[in-house]
């Protein structure tokens, strides 16, 4: 059975490394220019400011998924508290069934309980989660394009 709970950065960081590697290997598109090097100090500052939510999925105590949000008023709509998705991942062995839907649903309930009014989640074009997000009531509101402009 998979359980879902909000965890602190320290709880999450103690177990997340294997999933980070799996996540990075699966979705990172520009590994040569963008090596995985999380800014741990920044995550700690966000947590200390009450602006980080980490939902973790565990099976028999082992982490099998996570969903991180930065919680902040929207810079254009100051009266609207938002949850901006930073990262989400579910290990391949748990993707059949409803584990992913439950991870997102638990995240939304927890965000709502802390006063978040709008949640925003990205989806990779190559790993499109649009059908799942639409099923959960999300609207397809934006497209994101990126390009490397560094040297």
- Which of 71, 75, 36, 39 lies closest to 55, judged by CA? 71
Per residue in 44-94, pLDDT (tens digit) is 999 999 999 999 999 999 999 999 999 999 999 999 999 999 999 999 999
Does an H or E element contain 47, and which? helix 40-48
What pLDDT is attached to residue 151?
Answer: 85
Q: What is the pTM of this model?
A: 0.93
| Averaged pLDDT, 103-110 | 98
Per residue in 29-44, pLDDT (tens digit) is 888 899 999 999 999 9
The band of 12, judged by pLDDT with boundaries at 50, 70 and 90, is very high
| Arch. (CATH architecture) of 2-135 | 3-Layer(aba) Sandwich (3.40)
């Amino acid at each position: 059975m998979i359980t879902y709970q909000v965890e602190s950065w320290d709880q999450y960081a103690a177990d997340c490394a294997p999933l980070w590697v799996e996540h990075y290997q699966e979705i990172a598109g520009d590994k040569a220019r963008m090596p995985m090097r999380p800014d741990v100090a920044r995550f700690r500052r966000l947590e200390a400011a009450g602006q980080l939510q980490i939902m973790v999925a565990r099976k028999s105590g082992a982490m099998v998924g996570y969903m991180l949000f930065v919680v902040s008023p929207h810079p254009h709509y100051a009266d609207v508290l938002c949850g901006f998705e930073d990262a989400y991942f579910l290990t391949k062995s748990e993707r059949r069934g409803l584990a992913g839907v439950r991870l997102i649903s638990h995240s939304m309930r927890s965000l709502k309980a802390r006063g978040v009014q709008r949640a925003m989640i990205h989806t990779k074009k190559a790993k499109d989660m649009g059908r799942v997000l639409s099923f959960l009531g999300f609207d397809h509101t934006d497209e994101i394009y990126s390009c490397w402009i560094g040297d």
